[in-house]
Amino acid sequence: MQLEELKRKSIESRKKVIQYIYNAKAGHTGGSLSILDILNVLYNDVMNVSPENFDSNDRDRFIQSKGHSVEALYVVLADKGFFPEEDLLTMCQYNSPYIGHPTKSIPGIEQNTGGLGHGLPIAAGAALAAKKDNSAVKVFTVLGDGEMAEGSNWEAMMFAAHYQLDNLCAILDYNKLQITAPNADVMGLEPIDQKLESFGWAVKHVDGHNLEELSNTFNNLPIVAGKPSFIIAHTTKGKGISYMENVLKWHHGVPSKEQYDLAIEELDQQLQELETVLK
């Protein structure tokens, strides 16, 4: 997909994330905004997956390990045509399938997640299956930086390197914040690249909001043949809405009417700026 088109999608999707969270009066706002560009690039420029091939075993797989940021995934899947976007108006309401975490009852979603530290082991198992089938399927998963404290991730990392799963790509949404405080105060994970490398992974740092860099990276995997790839995507929690950026309370903060208007105004402005640059 054209870079300009991807850029437009990112801003429009941010607007939708805010709209549906505002409507539901619930959501994990900050983390949805920090993974949005990653999901946009994966679904619109990298992965071989669409409503048309979703029944085919040949589709690429995406497993969102940090399930709480489901709003970003919902918006990207709706835009891909997996379900009507209006469905999201029921998000988090009584009897709605669109709950606050990914579930397989929603078209396009591969696995039920929400408990942290589950995505990478599942993704590793799926990648192993693809290898056994000599299939070209690639498996992607996105993890939170706070989530990295779960031991299951490190068990899966040993496993993926041991089985040389170079069809597996884990993406760290490195927004540096979790619920209580910055990772550095809760449970430091640095030097994360050296840790991942020492576990046998090929590692690359990227700007998690630079669509071009994300696209180039994801379209040139594996980084090293025979090794699983870990992409450390440096991101901003609350990206795109200045008063939310890097502010702890927006982990699951819901905007008031005034804040909502302000957010939409800011995103509209970004859209306008994009149009001006394009002209």
Ligand X SMILES: Cc1ncc(C[n+]2csc(CCOP(=O)(O)OP(=O)(O)O)c2C)c(N)n1
Q: How many helices (H) and strands (E) does the chain have?
A: 9, 5
**Taking CB under 6 A as the rule, does residue 110 contact ligand X?**
no
Question: Pick from 145, 171, 233, 270: which binds ligand X (CB under 6 A)?
Answer: 145
Q: How far, in Å, CA of 255 to CA of 18, rounded?
A: 8
Under the binding rule (CB under 8 A), the answer on residue 92 touching another protein is yes
- Tell me whether residue 131 or residue 176 sits nearer to ligand X (CB atom): 176
Q: What angle do CA 108, 252, 37 make, to 5 degrees?
A: 50
| Contact between 71 and 27 (Cβ < 8 Å) | yes
Residue 23 engages another protein in binding (rule: CB under 8 A): no
Binding to ligand X in span 215-274, by CB under 6 A: 237, 251
- Binding to another protein (CB under 8 A) within 181-210 occurs at 186-187
Q: Between the CA atoms of 6, 71, 118 and 40, what dihedral angle is there, to the nearest 10 degrees? A: 0
Residue 163-192 contact track with ligand X, rule CB under 6 A, x = bound = ----------x-x-xxx-------------
In contact, 202 and 231? CB cutoff 8 Å: no
Spatial separation of the C-alpha atoms in residues 5 and 190, rounded to whole Å:
35
Q: Which residues in 50-89 contact another protein (CB under 8 A)? A: 67-68
Closer to another protein by Cβ: residue 26 or 129: 26
Binding footprint of another protein on the chain (CB under 8 A)? 24, 26, 67-68, 92-97, 99-101, 103, 112-117, 146-147, 149-151, 178-180, 186-187
